Each structure stands twice: as C-alpha cells, then as structure tokens.
Amino acid sequence: MFKLKIERGLRLRVALTLATFCIFIVGALGISLYFASDNFEAAHIEQVIRIEMDHLVQRYRKHSDFIPQIGSHLRSYVIRNIDEELRLPAYLRGLNARYHRIYHDAEDIHVLVRSVDDVKFFVAYRIALHNQRLNELRFLILFSLFSVVAIAFTVGYLLAGLLVKQVTDLAERVKLLAPGDIKGKALTRPEMDEEVAHLARALDDYQSRIKRLLQREQEFTANVSHELRTPITTILTSCELLLVERDLPDKVHYRVNMIEAAATRMGEQLQALLFLAREQALGTLESVALTECIYDAADPLCIEIYRKKLVFEVTIAPEVVLVLNRQALYTVLVNLLRNAVQYTENGFVRVESQGSRLSISDSGIGIEPAFLPLLYERFFRGSALGEGLGIGLVIVKRICEYYGWIIEVESVPGHGSTFHITFP
C-alpha cells in the first residue's frame, strides 16, 4: 500500500509537473507560431505581389507594347485606356491605386494597383495555395503540441519511476523492520541520492531511539516482574505451609485459602499484564488435554461457584487434545470463566466444544447490545457487579489476535452470554 501510494502520488506528480512544463513552453511557442504564421504568410504574399508589380512596371517601360502573362494564380494587367479597363474582370474594375483584398467566388484575392503616367498596373494574386499551406502548418503545430505533451508525460512517468525507485525500495525495507531491529544492515546505502539518504539516516536514527526505548521498557518490566513475583511466591509458599497445619482453625483456614487464591490471581494478572506490555509468547506449542486445562482454570473459582450454588458443566470428552499454547489457553479460560462466575448469581456455567470451537456459556446478567462494541476496550466495565480492573477481556482479545484464534460473543440481556473461541 505504501509503495502504491508513492507510485501514484510522487511519481504521478513528477510526470504531471514535467508534462505541464512542456505544455507551457511548447504551448507558448506553438501559439506564437500559430498566430505569427498568419502575419508571416500575409507579409510574404504582399512581398510577392510588390515584386511582381515592380517587374511589370519595368518591363512596360522597356516595351510599351508588352502584354503581361496571365497565370492560374498570379495575373497581371496593364490598362492604358477605358476600353481596356472595361475588359477587366468585374471584381477589378474601378479599383484605385493601392493594395486591396477581395473575396470573389469564395476565393481570397489580393490585388495591388499602381498608376504610372496615366497607365494603371494590376497584379491580382489568388492565395488559395498559401491558405492551404498555412492550414497545413497550423495542423502540424497543433499535432506537434499534443505529441510533445504525450511524449513528455510518458517520458516523465518513466523518469519519475527512476526517481522514486529508491524511495519505494526504502519503504519496502522499512516495512520489513521490526521495532528496534537494527541487527541487519542500516537503511542508508552508498548509492542513494542525497535526499533519499537523508531520509534513510533519519529513519536509522529513529529506529535506534525505538530500540533504546524498548530496552528501557523491557528492563523496567523485567525488574517489576521480578520484584512482584518474589513477594507473590513468598505469600503462596507461606499459605502452603499454613494449610498443612493440623490444628489450624476453620476460620483461619478459610482466610488462608482466600489469600492463596488472591495471590494466585495476582500472579496470573501479572503474567497477563506483561503479555500486554511486551506481546511476547506465553509459552510454546504443545499437546493440551482440553478438559484438564479447563478444570485447572476453574480451580481458583471453586469457592465462588460453591458459594453461589452454580452448576459448573464441562461437556467435553477427556480425550480431546489440541496442539496450542497451554499458558495462553489457560489465561483466556481463567478470564472468561471468572467473568462468567462473577456475573452469574444463579444457574450454570457451561463449557463445551464442537470440533475446533470452544464455547463458554453462563446464565448471568448478559451484555447490553450497546456495550458489545466496547467489550474489548481497556478498563471498560459493562456492569458495577463483580471485581476487576476491566482488562480481562482486553487480555483475552489480545491473546486471540496474537495466536490467530477467533473470538465471538453472543448475549441476551438477563439471559446470559456465550463466548466462542475458534482455533485455527
């Protein structure tokens, strides 16, 4: 797309600019020639007539009985008396001594009349051939103008392709770069033109700054992860040690279980937040027993399910196995099941599978149609019920997009919701 925009943008603009420049220059020249040719032709015709007139007068002075030759286009007459003038063609009779332009029988005739010693000299010139040549010249000028414009646009487009080739090549190499990836060769090349090289150097510098920014972010998240995982591990270990105590009161035992569940949930949220921040894989692909993974994800929710007296159903055969990232699936199931339990006060939470499609249904409060477009927005919560930061479905959506899973939702307010996940 980027390449196409450059070619249809910069390349076309360069071609149009060159064509417009040629139109302006050649057009100005062509228009000048077009109008000047009429003046040149008129001056040439008048010059021919005057030369013929001078020749006619000179020959008459040498031979007074001289009879002029009459041609098809140029005719000369010597009028000595009134009778000879009456024998002239009607369109020449009565003309005084000057230059005339006469239209007769759809013909343009230029006539020069000169009077010398009571003798009139007529030179009449039919300019049909001149007009024909003038029209041919004008057609040639117009044809040359359009030809030059077409050639200029074609050549300009080809030359523009050479000019933007470096830019399009640079765009292709930029498109293949990952954020902060400067392990390969720099974008700047010795053969680049100075302007393109300047752009490439700016992109190299920008890529270096991105790399430094990512390094700082990764160091920060790594430090935060380490600092948070250590106390979480300590809490979970302490809970495990307390739960093995035999004389522990039931009330304390219950609270320790709550602390352990909260610490486990905190660890899961920490893992999910790191995934959102880094978009790194949560693990490797492996064969996953779907039913086992579902029960593991539902285990922290057992107390809440028991308290609400919900029916938890898993209608999937134990032998169903999928090859995928177990940690990613576990994180998705934990978030979807937690939402189902939180927003269901009575009824059921059901997990079923059909082929490569996994469905999680509940009989809870459902989702309003107006909230469906905002469902995967960060920090969005469609109801005040339940707990959480409003990022559970954001994490689910991001994981599904990362691994190519398709997530869909069906919901009827007051009758529950169903989330479908289709694995590739």
In whole numbers, what is the pLDDT of the chain averaged over residues? 79
Tokens of 422: 């289709």
**What is the tens place of the pLDDT at every residue in 199-234?**
888 877 887 787 777 677 767 766 666 677 778 888
Task: State the pLDDT at residue 197.
Answer: 79
pLDDT at position 4, please? 44
Q: How confident is the model at residue 2, as a pLDDT?
A: 42
Q: What are the chain's domains?
A: 2-156 (no CATH), 281-422 (3.30.565.10)
pLDDT per residue as tens digits for the range 345-375: 889 999 998 888 899 999 888 888 877 777 7
| pLDDT value of position 266 | 76
**Residues of the chain whose pLDDT is less than 50?**
1-7, 182, 384, 386, 388-389
Three-state SS string across the chain, please? Answer: CHHHHHHHHHHHHHHHHHHHHHHHHHHHHHHHHHHHHHHHHHHHHHHHHHHHHHHHHHHHHHCCCCCCCECCCEEEEEECCHHHHHCCCHHHCCCCCCEEEEEECCEEEEEEEEEECCEEEEEEEECHHHHHHHHHHHHHHHHHHHHHHHHHHHHHHHHHHHHHHHHHHHHHHHHCCCCCCCCCCCCCCCCCCHHHHHHHHHHHHHHHHHHHHHHHHHHHHHHHHHHHHHHHHHHHHHHHHHHCCCCCCHHHHHHHHHHHHHHHHHHHHHHHHHHHHHCCCCCCEEEEEHHHHHHHHHHHHHHHHHHHCCEEEEECCCCCEEEEEHHHHHHHHHHHHHHHHHCCCCCEEEEEEECCEEEEEECCCCCCHHHHHHCCCCCCCCCCCCCCCCCHHHHHHHHHHHHCCEEEEEEECCCEEEEEEECC
* C-alpha to C-alpha distances, 335 to 65, 134, 160, 386, nearest whole angstrom: 126, 88, 55, 13
Q: What percent of the chain has pLDDT over 90?
A: 3
What's the CA gap between 232 and 263, in Å, rounded?
A: 6
What's the pLDDT score for residue 404?
Answer: 87
